[in-house]
Chain A
């Protein structure tokens, strides 16, 4: 029996699970300790190898799961044991976690390789080559933390990873902390991301507290086993727990109302935007809901909220993306929108569809961000070229320093200069827009098909969002790659080196073929996840849904072409002063401004939350802390009281009593002595006489007594 099991089961590498964290940690330690002696290529190679080895481990775990789909828990070490609270480091190897591991380490490794080339230019462009090493240390740390997050077998360890990736996000958004607006713009963006995430993490923590109160455990298996029982006894606790968890999800996965940090997070270097703020970290929320499927399935109310938050975010962010000019901001809002798709999917119970979209989105959104990075550096190289060419220099006179290489209004016509980037960008765009047979079509369509069945109102939100997605991506690609160059640097843009473009090609291939993971007729991915997620059902291919979404996508792209190609050309004839920077502005007018300014959400938050909050903080600091505690309580009550007390002690007790004893003793002695000294006449006679008198008195006494 054992033999047959071993044969049928295939190879087992579950014991390797901890190495998926160890490899990146070893990589970052090598770079921290010895990195100063290495040149850039070695540093990049070490970091990429560390990440690549983690990917190899993930692949081995995946191979093992084919033979043993039930997975295994690999305990590493006990962490906390306080009474009932049992925290341990243990890796849960099952189909769900390994899916995440494969995605994160796979995309992560490609981005490591891409960064070798990208950061080489970036550190020089920003004037501090010394930060090259730091970047790779942070990237490796991120991979390690993400592996802790997805590999955990309990919510406590998951929270460690959850906070750890938040830290890496903070470190990498603020990577150029001395750059940005007024020299602190990037630092402020990093702080904003961190604090917004803290609000979400607070929700996660409250959920964890409720969980421990209700379940007496953090362990996935124990919690899931008890869930139906607890849901019957304490439905309120479970509802509160899932909703607080949703708050955590909105923070990490950038959903309404906590999405505001993600657009600002684009201050980080582009590989970071691709890895952390598009492909992997922001999907942690989706993973959390999918992982907690067995709890969510018991609370339809919470499911409805999750789906609604996802659906509204998907539409909301898609509308903002329509009117952004920064190439990365468009992608950032697109990411928020696509995360909305995933959250909506896992919210309404379509866990497989959500996870499927997570994987394909990781491919094409990483591809889009990395290509955008390639575009930005191409433009920067063009700018550099123009700047150093005496004939061309006058073309950029007056804008040599405030030229924005990320503004799509400065681009155009790049398809000629950057052929590879153009092709891969096109593939990414079509995948995101949901054009068959690219990856995005299959995953998005599965979500839509499930939504149609499970939650029709969310289905319509998502369908409109999908239409807008195709439109803004069409707009972007037309503004960046088509038409004529709208600035001298764009005209002289140069293609990126191979180390940058090869990862792009691999990701493009994945974006092309990623849909094959879960074709509606085979359900490979569904069957894969079935072993972990009990509540999956294979989504049926719905021709009406697929037809509608594809039709809408094509209509949107044609519409974008009409507006941004035809109309753009027509606008060229207008004088510069009258020409709008975006043809949509003339159609939509104030609505466009509203979208361009992101519905003024940042301003509303500023007025509604930040202002009262800082006023409260100032009140607490100045009135309560300074005036009340410091000036009144400390200075007046404590210090004043102490001074009064010490004065009492010093004047009344010490001077008035203790010292007085000594002084009076001295005075008495001196007075006595001055009187007694009168007896000392110095005349021998007197002494003799007194001796005589004394003797006579003594004798008299002795004789007469």
Chain B
């Protein structure tokens, strides 16, 4: 069996990829996908640690995260559609009405 450090390392790499994706990309859908990546990296860490500690709660939490992520996607995609309707774009740099 692979040591847990591998899983955590993979999880960290995936998380950083997600962060960089959120920070660098302009397309809202890709930002969403990056957020999903971060969530799933967290899920991977949960599952890995649950295995190590032989505790079921980590695995249950993953299901929660998935459910929340699914809900988030549903809301998020609806927002993106609505934004696209008004702005005809899903470039997040164009959505800056809250600029102070």
| With known contacts A678-B100, A679-B100, A689–B95 Cβ distance under 8 A | no
Q: Which B residues touch A689, using CB under 8 A?
A: 23
A211 → B minimal CB distance (Å): 95
CB-based contact A681/B23 at 8 Å? no
Give the Cβ gap from B26 to chain A, nearest Cβ, in Å.
8
Chain B residues numbered 46-100 whose CB sits less than 8 Å from any CB in chain A: 92-93, 95-100
Q: Would you call B23 and A682 a contact (CB within 8 A)?
A: no
B95 close to A682 (CB less than 8 A) = yes
**A674–B97 Cα gap in the complex (Å)?**
16
B24 to A, closest residue via Cβ: A685
CA distance A45 to B31 in the complex (A): 120
Known: A692-B19, A692-B23. A685 touches B92 (CB 8 A): yes
Contact B100 A680 (CB under 8 A): yes
A682 near B99: Cβ-Cβ < 8 Å: yes
Which B residues are CB-close (under 8 A) to A684? 31, 92, 95
> Using Cβ atoms and an 8 Å threshold, which residues of chain B touch A685?
22-24, 92-93
Does A213 sit within 8 A of B, measured CB to CB? Answer: no
A residues within 8 A CB of B97? 682
- With A688-B23, A689-B23 as known contacts, state yes or no: A681 contacts B92, CB within 8 Å: no
CB <8 Å contact, B22 and A682 = no
Least CB distance, A693 to chain B, in whole angstroms: 11
Interface residue tally of chain A, by bracket?
10 to 19
Instruction: Verify A677–B100 contact, CB threshold 8 A.
Output: yes
A677-B92 Cα distance, complex, nearest whole Å: 19
Tell me the minimal C-beta distance from A451 to chain B in angstroms.
118
Residue A683 interfacial (CB < 8 Å): yes
**Given A688-B22, A688-B23, A692-B23: A683 in contact with B92 (beta carbons within 8 A):** yes
Least CB distance, B24 to chain A, in whole angstroms = 8
Asked if A676 lies at the interface with its beta carbon under 8 angstroms from chain B, I say yes
Q: A692-B19, A692-B23 are contacts. A683–B96 as well, Cβ < 8 Å? A: yes
A686 to chain B, nearest CB (A): 9
Chain A residues 664-699 with CB under 8 Å of chain B are 676-685, 688-689, 692
Interface range for B: 10 to 19
Question: Which one of A677, A688, A689 has the greatest number of beta carbons of chain B within 10 Å?
Answer: A688
Residue of A at shortest CB range from B20? A692
CB distance from A661 to the nearest CB of B (A): 27
Tell which of A677, A680, A681, A685 has the most Cβ of chain B within 10 Å: A685
Q: Which residues on the B side are within 8 Å of A676 (C-beta)?
A: 100
**Contact digits for A638-678, partner B, Cβ 8 Å, 1 yes 0 no:** 00000000000000000000000000000000000000111
Q: For residue A685, which residue of chain B has the nearest CB?
A: B23
CA of A219 to CA of B96 in the docked complex: distance in angstroms? 106
CB-nearest residue of chain B to A677: B100
Choose one: B19, B22, B31, B99; the contact of A681 (CB below 8 Å).
B99
Min CB gap B35→A, angstroms: 9
B-side contacts of A683, CB under 8 Å: 92-93, 96, 99
Q: A680 CB to closest chain B CB, in angstroms?
A: 3
- Give the complex CA separation of A205 and B20 in angstroms: 112
Encode A348-378 as 1/0 by CB contact (under 8 A) with B: 0000000000000000000000000000000
In whole Å, how far is B34's beta carbon from the nearest beta carbon of chain A? 10
Nearest neighbor of A687 in chain B, beta-carbon distance: B98
A700 to chain B, nearest CB (A): 15
Nearest-neighbour CB distance to chain B for A689, whole angstroms, equals 6
B96 contact set on A, CB distance < 8 A: 681-683
Bound Cα distance from A214 to B36, whole angstroms: 116
Instruction: For the complex, give the distance between the alpha carbons of A678 and B98 in Å.
Output: 11
The answer to whether B98 and A682 touch across the interface, beta carbons within 8 angstroms, is yes
Query: What's the nearest-Cβ distance from chain A to residue B98, in Å?
Result: 5
Chain A residues with CB under 8 Å of B100's CB are 676-682
Separation in Å of the A349 CB from the closest CB of chain B?
Answer: 114
Q: When chains A and B are docked, how far (Å) is the Cα of A685 from the Cα of B98?
A: 13
Q: Which residues of A contact B95 (CB under 8 A)?
A: 682, 684
Chain A residues 211 to 228 lying within 8 A of chain B, measured CB to CB, are none
Tell me the complex Cα distance, A680–B96, Å: 9
Complex formed: what's the CA distance from A678 to B99 in Å? 8
Chain A residues, CB < 8 A from B31:
684
User: What separation, in Å, do the CA atoms of A330 and B96 have in the docked complex?
Assistant: 116
Which residues of chain A are near B98, meaning CB under 8 Å?
680, 682
Complex Cα distance, B94 from A682, in Å, reads 9
Residues of A within 8 A of B23 (CB): 685, 688-689, 692
Task: Looking at the assembled complex, report how far the CB atom of B75 sits from the nearest CB atom of chain A, in whole angstroms.
Answer: 15
Residue of A679, A682, A692 contacting most chain B CB atoms (<10 Å): A682
A674, chain B: closest CB distance, angstroms: 8
Question: CA–CA, A683 to B22, complex, Å?
Answer: 12
Instruction: For residue A690, give the distance in angstroms from its CB to the closest CB of chain B.
Output: 11
What is the minimal beta-carbon distance from A309 to any residue of chain B, in angstroms?
Answer: 105
Bound-state CA distance A387–B31 (Å) is 127
Given the complex, which residues of B lie within 8 Å of A678, measured CB to CB?
A: 100
Q: How far is the CB of B76 from chain A (nearest CB, A)?
A: 12
- Rounded to whole Å, the gap between the CB of A56 and the closest CB of chain B is 109
Within 8 A of A (CB), among B1-46: 19, 22-24, 31
Which residues of B have CB within 8 Å of A692?
19, 23
A692 to B98: give the CA distance in the assembly, Å: 20
Nearest A residue to B34 via CB reads A688
Kindly provide the distance from the CB of A560 to the nearest chain B CB, expressed in whole angstroms.
Answer: 122
Task: Name the distance in Å between A600's Cβ and chain B's nearest Cβ.
Answer: 101
The residues of A that contact B22 with a CB separation of less than 8 Å are 685, 688
Q: For residue B69, give the distance in angstroms from its CB to the closest CB of chain A.
A: 17
Residues of B contacting A680 in the complex (Cβ-Cβ under 8 angstroms): 98-100
Q: How far is B92's CA from A684's CA once the two chains are assembled, in angstroms?
A: 7
**A-B pairs, 6 with minimum CB distance:** A677-B100, A682-B96, A680-B100, A682-B99, A684-B92, A682-B98
Additional pairs, 5, CB under 8 Å, beyond known A682-B97, A682-B99: A677-B100, A682-B98, A683-B92, A685-B22, A692-B19
Q: Which B positions have Cβ atoms within 8 angstroms of A?
A: 19, 22-24, 31, 92-93, 95-100
Query: Can you offer 16 A-B residue contacts whose CB atoms are under 8 A?
Result: A676-B100, A678-B100, A680-B98, A681-B96, A681-B100, A682-B95, A682-B97, A682-B100, A683-B93, A683-B96, A684-B31, A684-B92, A685-B24, A688-B22, A688-B23, A692-B23
